[in-house]
Amino acid sequence: MLRASDHILTVRQMQAAEQALIDAGGTNEQLMQIAGKGAAEWVWRIAAGRSVTVLCGPGNNGGDGYVIAEVLRQRGLVVSVVAPADPVSAAAQNARASYHGHIQDNYRKAQADILVDCLFGTGLSRGLSNELVEMLEELASWHDFVIAVDLPSGVDSDNGALLSGIPHYDLTIALGAWKWAHWIMPAAQYMGSRQLVPIGIDASNEADFTTPRLLSKPRFDAPNAAAHKYSRGLVAIVAGDMPGAAQLAAKAAMRGGAGYVKILTGGRQLDAPSELVVDSRPLSEALSDERISALVAGPGLGTGARSQQVLEIVLNWPRDIPTVLDADALNLIGKVDWPPPSERTFVLTPHSGELAQLRSAFEPPDTKGPLASKVHHTIELDWMTDATIVAKGPDTIIFNRDLGMAIAPPASSWLSVAGTGDVLAGIIASRLATGADPFVAACDGVWLHGRAARLAGGITGKPFTASELAGRVAQAYAACL
Ligand SMILES: NC(=O)C1=CN([C@@H]2O[C@H](COP(=O)(O)OP(=O)(O)OC[C@H]3O[C@@H](n4cnc5c(N)ncnc54)[C@H](OP(=O)(O)O)[C@@H]3O)[C@@H](O)[C@H]2O)[C@@H](O)CC1
Ligand SMILES: [K+]
């Protein structure tokens, strides 16, 4: 399920949303009070009586900082402000005038427990000077807990690039709406945990087809009383040179909602566990089963001549069997022609290397824009293929130009192990088989995969195998019932 409050905005959209509030009778000062007080609640909870340094810059982010400092001061915390530049906007000047606490003239004397970075937010237009980078680094190093207000000072809000060096934060408090940098690499890895403080803007008013939402937990129903295995959907997994990958995808698909999963070996013999159904007829014959409602091709497929023939059959199959293409299937596109536009439903799940290979296969015009190149490349690939794209990584992007864009919060870094992509392909196919549209199926699949990884890692976040991951999909599914 994607919530309207989870829209991720550009700076321009954010400014338009703020302007709409001002046009409706609000003022910058009121917005700053709401934002600063909302952020102060988080700092207050974290500080739990400890002392706080607030680093205030010249813009409205600095203005928020003065509001935060005054709220905490009035509640009795030991607060000091470090202000390397005077406020320039009227709202920030008013906020400073309303702050009645201590202003530290030498930042090296600011030795508190909590650091609140209000140096720059969405108005950052270039990297920080060396002096400011050094100040931020030093302050961060001698405070126990470091909080960024709206954004860490030094990141480009729209594309997540680091314009200058930044420390690692323990918490980032987003004001009004999520920005791209909160969820897109490289900036996303510096944010620590993230909290959103509402300030009354309606982010959905600013959304267009490239405005993503943050992925949130889906909701599923248990099968109805009349359900049987075929009505719940039949997933077929095409096995290739390395059939273990197909078995992993099948293990995951069996736990992702579909009622029936089988492996198509295309005439090869396969020793599979008894719980797996193996169809070893020639592929064209096996695919003629009208009950198949989703297909996976690519995991363990191989890249030789036989694998190419298999992919040709899959890509050009005349009936719309919604199909997830992963791994070797993605690597073979280019050698095997992409089919002409049709009613077929494809979901492509490239990681960064496969995304680059697909770009070289399709040679899209090199679009440059304000967003991260991964975002532009994902959009391009959707246009070239008419497929739903799941661009995997620590900042997984799911995109279908007619259905929407979502970004997944970072999942366990232990997912960086062989076979986890096969598991994801199996789960997405399972969701497709139940009748979900390709965008929803991809979102559901990515969410279940991330949750299964958390369950497989346990409370200590230990390493896990892809098979253990697949085994946890049912538990992840149960959380959505
Ligand atoms: N609008 C609203 O109603 C609300 C906004 N809110 C808050 O405002 C924040 C956005 O505020 P903002 O637009 O004033 O930008 P902000 O990031 O504070 O800094 C801009 C200043 O910094 C300067 N500057 C830039 N880069 C620099 C550099 N590298 N080194 C040195 N200077 C640099 C730049 O000057 P210039 O680029 O012109 O040289 C300008 O003076 C937003 O993140 C949120 O926290 C909330 O309170 C909710 C209501
Ligand atoms: K900041």
What domains does the chain contain, in order, with CATH numbers?
4-214 (3.40.50.10260), 234-478 (3.40.1190.20)
Atom of ligand 1 nearest to the CA of 153: 17
Per the structure block, which two tokens stand in for 225? Answer: 């009383």
DSSP state for residue 109 in the 8-state scheme: G
- Separation in Å, CA 266 to CA 237, 246, 321, 330: 11, 13, 17, 19
Q: Which residue is closest in CA terms to ligand 1's atom 37?
A: 125
Those residues whose C-beta lies under 8 Å from the C-beta of residue 225, and which sit 6 or more positions away, are none
d(CA 324, CA 258): 15
Please list the ranges in the chain whose pLDDT falls under 50: none
- Angle, CA 259 vertex, CA 253 and CA 264 arms, to 5°: 60
Amino acid letter, residue 163:
L
pLDDT at 3: 64
Per the structure block, which two tokens stand in for 326? Answer: 């992963």
Amino acid letter, residue 385:
T
Atom of ligand 1 nearest to the CA of 92: 14
pLDDT at 460: 84
d(CA 32, CA 223): 49
> Is 300 annotated among the ligand-binding residues?
yes
188 CB-contact burial (10 Å; exposed 0-12 / middle 13-18 / buried 19+): buried
**Distance in Å, CA 108 to ligand 1 centroid:** 24
Q: Which of 125, 155, 182 should be mutated for ligand 1, with most atoms under 8 A from CB?
A: 125
CB contact at 8 A, 324 and 442: no
> Is 61 annotated among the ligand-binding residues?
yes
pLDDT at 223: 80
76 CB-contact burial (10 Å; exposed 0-12 / middle 13-18 / buried 19+): exposed
pLDDT at 346: 98
pLDDT at 1: 57
**3-state class (DSSP) for residue 462:** coil
| Ligand 1, pocket residues at CB < 6 Å | 18, 28, 31-32, 35, 57-62, 64, 88-89, 120-128, 150, 175-176, 199
Q: Hey, which residues does 336 pair with through a beta bridge?
A: 333
Per the structure block, which two tokens stand in for 368? Answer: 């440059």
Q: Hey, which residues does 149 pair with through a beta bridge?
A: 173
Per the structure block, which two tokens stand in for 366? Answer: 């090199």
